[in-house]
Chain A
Amino acid sequence: MSRKPRKKAQRNESPDVVLRAVPYRNEAMEITDRPDGGLVASIPMRRPKFLVPPISWLLPYSSHRRVQLDALGAGVLRMCDGKSTVETLIERFASQHQLTFREAQISVTQFLRQMAQRGLVAIIGKNRDMESL
């Protein structure tokens, strides 16, 4: 009997929801600054359940995932303070680098998505109703 492949949940959030979302840095992450302005983020990883002796003796396992960011990426990560919305981040990035809002929007949102996939940040959505609370 074959199982149906599970469909990946695709979310197409409206621009409004994305801009109002707030990125939070992973508190368990350790950051090491680099001399070129970049940084190395070290994120602790959960040990897979199957990785017990003797399998763990054979399969190499790293307790941390290391992600290296250049100066631009590090700048965006440092801006994620748990208070600023994605829109604020884009505005700051655009003014820092003399970009239009749309240019900065595409770059920053793509980068935030990648950082979220790698576990560096979590992006919490907010809607208008939540803001008034």
Chain B
Amino acid sequence: MFYVEIDGLTKRYGASTVFEDIRLGLKQGEFVTLLGPSGCGKSTLLRCLAGLTTADQGRIRVDGQDITTLAPQQRGIGMVFQNYALFPNMTVVENIAFGLKMQKRSAAETAKRVAEVIRLVELAGKEARYPHELSGGQRQRVALARALVVEPRILLLDEPLSALDARIRRNLREQIRDIQRRLGLTTVFVTHDQEEALTLSDRIFVMNQGRIVQEGTAEAVYTQPASEFVARFMGSYNLLSPTEAGRLLGVELKGHLAIRPESIRLCEPGEQYSADLGAPLRAIIRQHQLLGNIIRYQVETEGVSLQVDHLNRAADDLLPVGSEIAVVIDRRQMREVH
């Protein structure tokens, strides 16, 4: 029995189907991510959950209660929008207190609850500021505090980090996850960013063209992509056609062969390898990219181009373009996808 159940949900706009027959369940206190490219229907699904968009078919249940036809006001769901959606005519405190004001809570209770969430999202000292006087990260924290203060049953996050710069995004996502764990709040997060999904989620639902194409833990979705689409979408997978796979590894396949860049190793002279790994292949380095702690090489072997991630251990680790090397593909990590 799930805390949140979505059963056969379908949404169409005229002849075009946004999503069809969506079925998913969320456990209480779980952090779930809807991950997919733009236009896959993930945000519309989130809006249906919030009651901002009406589904054409299917049911939504929360804690056993059918909320499919309830107005947003009656669902007990909090939401954080991508563009913050803060009320520009209200200060930080007024924005946060708005939900409690609508619930006609006493002034003393409102002040106490607002002070608590301001502490929780680390906005002390900014209470009297207006939204336009805050940075993007601070605005999103106000939006989070505003959604949390009314103690929602579910928290919905619609790409809340995409308008922020990389450093603030990293800090804020850690903070969101920390707060969610502390409050034990059932949370649905929508993003098109694989890294965010992998970092934050207990479970990920990968969506494409209005359908859930894979669900599982972050590790499962990343290491065992169920389809070519997921393999391509989840990151920098090497996807070899059946012909390329046959030429390189001598295997006969019907689908593509997915190999993660980190499961290909660069051979160092004299290095011994486990028998489980394949035989070393001669390769030439065509390109390299320094990604901080990782060096990403583009190597060519047997006419096949491969991406190889190598841990950047020392300053002299970088191999020059044109170097002849050998690579070993960990066959245990290869996966056939269709």
The answer to whether A binds B is no
Q: Which residues of B contact A (CB under 8 A)?
A: none
Q: Which residues of A contact B (CB under 8 A)?
A: none
